[in-house]
Structure 1
């Protein structure tokens, strides 16, 4: 039989989240445990686990906590729509996220056949999503992550989404110039290098610590970054030479 209630520490371990995150979501009214023990300990039930997944999925889709609260405010069963949207995003990530894609596809298929996903299924999915961000968090301090969140709020989701969508085309354009044997010092490639630097600055905002963390993350996880559609070492070297030529 599946568990029906979990203490906050147990839920955190099962899902890969932190107790602090669950407490913060409770303070924001996003995931409030269904009941407490006589001693005041939080107890989360199946419905709470579903709510945790909804928050995790919407955050993964790029929504701020304020936007998540707005989406989850109306009554009704939103899980199928959220799972479907999450699946669409995962499909774009291809190889690196294949395991997560398979899990999501199975859950969506189950919902469409009127079979609700089990609590253990949702916990496993939450754990997979949490692991996706673990590597990223290892390269930035809590203060830097808070600065990134503030910058995200400042730029707005539309700007961030547009920036993310521009990267694949820019990387493809760089590769096209490389394939054509174009001198990196040419005006065309230098223009690409300028835009490359602008997109990077949209992330780090000129902060030296954020910039260094970003470069270390890419250098030490090159294969994973590449599998998610990131640039190759050769492309980065080409852009660096183009940037140097423009100095």
Structure 2
């Protein structure tokens, strides 16, 4: 209980960057309870427990504003910490099921390739979709809501949406190659079809849909090039760099 950590030591031990710790201090989320005579921060055991709560809550999908409201109700209550850990365990169990499902799908792709058969693009898209859910920063609540919506739509409908998605992107690539302006009515019609598909996949829960959209945009910003390269390896009419160009073209058409 008498241990103390400098900001550098805490960053190294927790995996949280020094910049993030400074930001948490700035917004009043996690601060150092003590200072040295020269003014350097010293984090206490209570500060470490608070940091754990903050990181666990953000991993469950709460915004920093929501985290602050939760912590304002008290951080030393054993029951509250127990509830948080139960929620974290539930989230990990969901992720474990998704890892098993993702493993099963990748094994299926490998089996097809071992049999000298190229899997259909839809199989790769299904795997990418699950990968995005697992690594795209979605909370358990968001993943469950998306799963419920897909179950409501049914496998046939979801497969038809994936097929139409590929058709739309192929037609957009044709217009882009032909130099068709983004505000052309035909391109606008394709953008409208794309928006209808996106709208059909929404859960109807506004806060979840906004969070999922933000997570998807962030994932594309971070990994768009890698996703595009992966798809170009599997879809014969896609070349490296096509996806980024098509997405940018679609965004111009939507605006």
- TM (norm. structure 1) is 0.48
Which structure ranks higher in relative contact order (CA pairs < 8 Å, sequence separation ≥ 6)? 1
Structure 1 or 2, whichever has the larger Rg, is 2
- TM (norm. structure 2) is 0.47
